Structure 1
Amino acid sequence: MSFGLQFGKGETNGNTDVSNPFGSASILSTGKQEDSTNTPDGGQSEQTNQVELSDDAVLSYINQKVGKEFKQFDDIFQVKEKEIEKIVEKTVNPYEGVMDQNDINYFEFKKNTGRSRDEYDFIQKDLDAISDFDWVKKKLQKIDPNSKISNEDVNQYLEHKLNIDLTDEDKSQYNALEIKSFVKDIIEESKKLQEEYKKPTQNYNPNQQKEEFVTLENGQRMLKSQYDTLMDDRKKYIESMKQGVSSAASLAVESIIENDGEKTPLNFTYEFTDDDRHSMLSDASDVDSFIQKNFMGEDGLNHKELATFIHKGINFDKYMGMAMKQVRAKTIEEFIAKSNNENFTRKEIKKNNKKTGYGSFTERNNSGFGVKY
Structure 2
Amino acid sequence: MKKRALLAALPAMSLALAMSGVAMAKDTYRVAVIRWEPNDIYFNGVQLGQEMERKSIENRDGVKIEFTVFGANDVSAQRNALDAQIARGVDGVLLVPWRGEAMIKTVEDLAAKNIPVVVSNAFVPKAKSTFVAFDNETAGRKGGEAIVGWLDKHRGEDWRKQEGVIIELRCIITASFDIGRSAGYHSAFEPIIKDNPNIKIETREAGCDGSKARKAVDDLISRYGKDKILAVASIDGTMGIGGAIPAFSAQGMLKKSDDPAHIPVATIDGTQPELAALEKGDLTHISVQPATGEGIITMRLLYDMMKSGKLLDRSASAGTLPIEGEELWAPVEIIPSSDFDGDWYKIQAYSIPEDVPANDPRNWANQIKAAN
The answer to whether the superposition gives a TM-score over 0.5 is: no
Higher normalized strand content (fraction of residues): 2
Larger radius of gyration between Structure 1 and Structure 2: 1
Q: Which has the higher contact order (CA 8 A, sep 6+)?
A: 2
TM-score bracket relative to the smaller structure: under 0.3
